[in-house]
Chains A and B, each alone.
Chain A
Amino acid sequence: MNESAVSTASASIEGEGQGSMATAQPELLPLDIAERVITFKSRETEARHRHVFNPITRADVDAYFSSLTVATERKSGNSMEYHIDGSTNILKLYERAIKRVQGYSLTDGRDVMVLANWKDRVPGVHRLRATEILMKVTQSESSVDLGIDPEAELVSVDAFWSAGDCGMFHYRGLIHRFSPPTIEHWRKLNNHSTRTTAVGGSKSQRTIYPKLNGIFLELYDSLILSVEGYSVGGQPIAGREQCVSHMDCFHKIAAVSILFDKTSDGEADELEEA
């Protein structure tokens, strides 16, 4: 199974006329900040927009995945068509988590926040962009260079978290150290992920896939040993219990999906012959 729901659902933050304002990385990603601020700049107008979110909770993540639909449909000639509705759920997450916005004015010059329905009046493309940045977690490009841990599997991810005074910080090389999965973990994930539904009968050619967020979070909590690059209360995360209780759900899901992709990859590297 090769499904990283987070990374596939996220669009590039550098497209569609806006750019993020990335700056130097602070030492540790602070998991327990009270607000997460996402900023970006419109390339056309140069206007800066700030979206301030509440911390994303497990309930927010569950709601996000519950409104996500992933299906395949076989067409004539056996070609496969993927149906992924990845916008409705992003907008739902935005609506749940957004606290306030800055940098949006009404035609009469007043701030958009004076409106009762201000969440709906923020341009849809900005809501999508801000939420995508909020939840974007990707495998580090440099993860092939990770050393070998004698007792654990290492996964390295990159993510944006929250803007400081100078713009968005892009954290790179955040390490998750896992117990190697056993056949029981493999079985749990595969049994769950192949519990699909054929809609319209067995010969309908349309398959709806189950949500993997719950099983990924469960596997993360049972396999995680330690992390590097994160802090709680200004101190580096110490020990497994803090990882389980404080780690962001999107980081957990991305790290576990990378872990299982990695361990199911049976291809050996090619031998270099003399």
Chain B
Amino acid sequence: MNHCAVSVAKDFCGLKQAALELLEEERSAPERERLERLALAAANSNEILEAIKGNRSLAEGYYARVGYLMELESFLGMGLRLSFDLDMAELRGMQSVAAARAEFDRGHPPCKGCGVRLENEWDKTCNDCQRAAAAQASVS
């Protein structure tokens, strides 16, 4: 059994992985909520709920740290002038979050029609926009 202890704030690979998982969680949230609603009325609701549960692979502290780094990132993105210095763990942690975001953006480009995140990096538009475009084409 592995008894090592990892300082979460300095495990930048782990933070990147946690950030990616959180971004994926956020992207799939509407679908998960839809399935949860369906599960309420289904006979096998427990099985459905079990199957759609989040898929976090790391210790909980990683997600809390990423939450803080994302919030800090959003404050800095507002162009605030800070009267204090960020420490190295915060700066490198934010780099990990930025790297995760870039990877997420590559893997899930926004739909050219409505901006929703797409399933695959080669997709151009979402199913709803494709259906709307097809309906419009058949009318005209």
Residues of chain A whose beta carbon lies under 8 Å from any beta carbon of chain B: 72, 74, 77-78, 80, 183-184, 187, 190-191, 193-209
Contact = CB atoms under 8 A, between A and B. Distances in A.
Interface of B: 1-9, 11, 14, 50, 53-54, 56-62, 64-65, 67-68, 71-72, 75, 80, 82-84, 86-87, 89-90
B90 to A, nearest CB: 6
Given A191-B87, A197-B8, A201-B2, 16 more contacts: A72-B61, A77-B50, A183-B80, A184-B83, A194-B8, A195-B9, A197-B6, A198-B5, A198-B8, A198-B58, A199-B5, A202-B14, A203-B58, A205-B59, A206-B59, A207-B8
A208 B2 CA distance: 16
Given A74-B59, A80-B60, A187-B84, A201 B68 contact: no
A194 B58 contact: no
Contact of B61 (A78, A194, A201): A194
A78 B56 contact: yes
Contacts of A77: 50, 53
A195 B7 contact: yes
Given A77-B50, A202-B58, A202-B59, A194 B64 contact: yes
Given A184-B83, A202-B14, A197 B53 contact: no
Contacts of B54: 78
Nearest to A191: B90
A229 B131 CA distance: 67
Contacts of B4: 200-201
Contacts of B11: 198, 202
A77 B3 CA distance: 23
B136 to A, nearest CB: 38
A101 to B, nearest CB: 40
A20 B66 CA distance: 44
